[in-house]
Structure 1
């Protein structure tokens, strides 16, 4: 067991897996909200107050 390069830190791997699962769940919730309440992308924002004449 002198080959330390092949050792796996299980806590790090578990954290990665949990992070991936949380990202997957977050993406699913985000997609559900986008389907329920789509954002309007066609509107342009005004550049400020109109000038008075």
Structure 2
């Protein structure tokens, strides 16, 4: 009787079929992304308080006159 050995592709196929497995790298990337977004928003709010931006002035769309 011959035993079948599992190779890495068999292991990957078995893992992909199990819905309960969690991709820890993907979860960590999401968590780091969320932390970075939170930090970015905090810095953005601090800048807005320190240096508030005035309302943007609209540029006229008139063509310059030829001289």
Superposition TM-score, scaled by structure 1 size? 0.75
What is the root-mean-square deviation in Å for CA atoms of aligned residues? 2.4
Distance 1:34 1:49 in 2: 34
Superposition TM-score, scaled by structure 2 size? 0.62
**Which has more radius of gyration?**
2
Match of 2:58 among 41, 44, 50: 44
Higher RCO (CA-CA < 8 Å; seq separation 6+)? 2
Match of 1:30 among 33, 44, 47: 44
The verdict on how the C-alpha distance between 1:48 and 1:35 changes in structure 2, with shifts beyond 3 A counting, is: farther
Distance 2:34 2:22 in 1: 18
Over residues 20-50 of structure 1, what are the superposed CA-to-partner deviations in whole Å (9 max), with x where a residue is unaligned?
Answer: 0000000000010011111101633233565
